[in-house]
Amino acid sequence: MERAAPGEVRMSRAISPAHANPRGELSAGQLLKWVDAAACLAAEKHAGVSCVTASVDDIRFEETAKVGQVLTIKAKVTRAFSTSMEISIKVIVQDMFTGVEKLVSVAFSTFVAKPIGKEKINLKPVILLTEQDHVEHNLASERRKVRLHHEDTFKNLMKENSKFNDPICDEGMVSTSGTSVQSIELVLPPHANHHGNTFGGQIMAWMETVATISASRLCGAHPLLKSVDMFKFRGPSTVGDRLVFNAIVNNTFQTCVEVGVRVEAFDCQEWSEGRGRHINSAFLIYNAVNDKEELVTFPRIKPMSKDDLRRYRGAIARKRIRLGRKYVISHKEEVPLCVHWDVTNQVSLSNANVEALKNLAARSGWEVTSVVEKIKIYTLEENDILSVWVEKHVERPAHLTYHLLSDFTKRPLWDPHYVSCEVIDCVSEDDQIYYITCPVVNGDKPKDLVVLVSRRRPLKDGNTYTVAVKSVTLPSVPPSPQYSRSEILCAGFLIHAIDSSSCTVSYFNQISASISPYFAGNLGGWSKSIEETAASCIQFIENATDDGLIDIF
């Protein structure tokens, strides 16, 4: 393993049976303890004074670690603000027999520096040594904006969700009443940190325990912690406090379940009076596997009370925020997947392009995330791949809409994500290759793409037009240093005729890492860019003049 970078704190731990869960894997609670300790040490190394945890968010668990393996936790301050810092944490596991290393978890913590006496804290800036340091420094600012606007975003999404119809109670839906768990812990000296308060990592570990019990009561299988929405520390607790943990399932989403945990602290007097302090809350997301190590599909939830419905809708809002936040978490290097354009195999490549779009549209599990007048937005998560479906109702005939949308040179007229779009190869009547440039996002270089657009009119007795899009590589259009070459995995339009004067336009996009910044804000609920682009598309189609349409034929 390479040497630690300047300013980075590393913690190494050998995993013993005492650290493991019943499956012989490192328990998530134990890992959270180590993560919090490493992050605190990184914060104090930068600040030079004592620091306390404000929040831990965007925790993702990618792999499990087993007894006998060695864990390395890397913690580093990515950006310092006036009195707070963001710490990036990466957890690597190494198998001692093979030497193979795997990424176990990533997380981001916010720590606040504690002033000494009346001295005012003003943290020094982080020294940026590498290109990755600069990238993380810029992304830290974006993540901070997301955190600061989280409450307002959540409230707005809850208002939107209240417009949706209440869940229809079908056979097989279950109540969450049986998943309620309460536990109490007495804070003892070994549970305290070096400031004399209850160690944040210990609180998170206790919260994970009750959440795991709650999830297991719903699935009857082995719950596996997949991610944590946020551990938010609202206030301190000290040695002698009684901490009461309450956990309950809020909602399920096919193979994952959200469990909410609330923590209240009581000193002796508060305990006798039944008057606690709300010091922490978190939302933990689990998968579950059966005895054959297969993912379990959770039953759908049936809200039985107003509070059940509030928590049910809250989970939907948080899931949407997570979707957006997920793509502001880190700067992923994309592995190119686009195919090389081969003129000798153009028919096969074109047909594969169209079939991929139809297969994406036909998948099950699409969930509504937004409804605005003529526009509906759906999302689909499969194996860490996110897809978006935007459905629009257009008051123009399907064949005219098809001709307008299949001509990508017109796309910059209505889509602000496209700066220019030019044909570089007319392969056939139904297939063209375009070179596209896109605007700057998040201060990065502008992006460009080379895409194959394959068009299909309906077969006999059909009424659906298809416009499929996929990135290809052409030796004649190599990447330019002025642009960041991006990729479209699978995208396009399905245009379905309703009657002779109107149609439904469905736009699909399987989001790649390079284009995710254009979607992140909207998916997270702090932007309306997709709705605004869809509305612009509708206006463009419905306002197109007959002369403009005649030119297309």
The answer to whether 145 and 153 are in contact (CB under 8 A) is no
Average pLDDT over residues 35-42: 94
pLDDT digits (tens, 9 = 90+) for 493-506: 999 999 999 999 99
Which of the four pLDDT bands, split at 50, 70 and 90, describes residue 484? Answer: confident
Please give the sequence-ordered ranges of beta strands (E in DSSP) within 295-384, or none if there are none. Answer: 339-340, 367-372, 375-382
The answer to whether 103 and 72 are in contact (CB under 8 A) is no
In this predicted structure, the answer to whether residue 334 has a pLDDT above a threshold of 50 is no
Q: What rounded mean pLDDT belongs to the chain?
A: 87
Which of the four pLDDT bands, split at 50, 70 and 90, describes residue 522? Answer: low
- Residue 197: name the closest of 239, 164, 235 by CA: 239
- The pairing of beta strand 84-94 with beta strand 70-80: antiparallel
Which of the four pLDDT bands, split at 50, 70 and 90, describes residue 156? Answer: confident
| Cα–Cα distance for residue pair 416/412, rounded to 1 Å | 6
Which residues is 449 bridged to in the sheet? 436
Among 197-211, 283-297, 457-471, which range has the highest average pLDDT?
197-211
Distance set, CA 102 to CA 58, 107, 329 (Å): 19, 15, 19
| Cα–Cα distance for residue pair 423/488, rounded to 1 Å | 17
Task: Tell me whether residue 355 is exposed, middle or buried, using C-beta atoms within 10 angstroms of its C-beta: 0 to 12, 13 to 18, 19 or more.
Answer: middle
Query: Residue 472 carries which DSSP code?
Result: E
Judged by DSSP in three states, 313 sits in helix
Tokens 């992006």: give the residue.
Answer: 447
Supply the pLDDT for residue 520. Answer: 63
Supply the pLDDT for residue 553. Answer: 38
Tokens coding 171:
């056979």
In this predicted structure, the answer to whether residue 322 has a pLDDT above a threshold of 90 is no
Which of the four pLDDT bands, split at 50, 70 and 90, describes residue 149? Answer: confident
Q: Output the DSSP codes for 490-533.
A: EEEEEEEEEETTEEEEEEEEE--TTTTHHHHHHHHTS--HHHHH
In this predicted structure, the answer to whether residue 126 has a pLDDT above a threshold of 60 is yes
Count CB-CB contacts under 10 A for residue 462: 12
pLDDT digits (tens, 9 = 90+) for 210-226: 999 999 999 888 899 99
Count CB-CB contacts under 10 A for residue 482: 9
Q: What is the largest CA-CA distance in the chain?
A: 82
The answer to whether 298 and 218 are in contact (CB under 8 A) is yes
pLDDT digits (tens, 9 = 90+) for 41-80: 999 999 999 999 998 887 889 899 999 999 999 999 999 9
Query: Residue 162 carries which DSSP code?
Result: T
Distance set, CA 9 to CA 5, 29, 91, 184, 231 (Å): 8, 21, 12, 33, 22
Distance set, CA 57 to CA 32, 106, 111, 388 (Å): 12, 10, 12, 24
pLDDT digits (tens, 9 = 90+) for 271-316: 999 999 999 999 999 999 888 888 888 988 989 899 999 999 899 8
Angle 154-157-163 (CA atoms, 0-180°, nearest 5)?
A: 145
| Cα–Cα distance for residue pair 284/295, rounded to 1 Å | 17
pLDDT digits (tens, 9 = 90+) for 389-439: 999 999 999 999 999 999 999 999 999 989 999 999 999 999 999 999 998
Q: Which amino acid is at 344?
A: T
Burial 230-247 (b: 16+ CB within 10 A, else e): bbbbeebbeeebbbbbbb
| Cα–Cα distance for residue pair 237/200, rounded to 1 Å | 10
Query: Residue 276 carries which DSSP code?
Result: -
Which of the four pLDDT bands, split at 50, 70 and 90, describes residue 552? Answer: very low
Count CB-CB contacts under 10 A for residue 12: 12
Contacts of residue 345, defined as CB under 8 A and 6 or more positions apart, other chains included, come to: none
| Cα–Cα distance for residue pair 215/180, rounded to 1 Å | 9
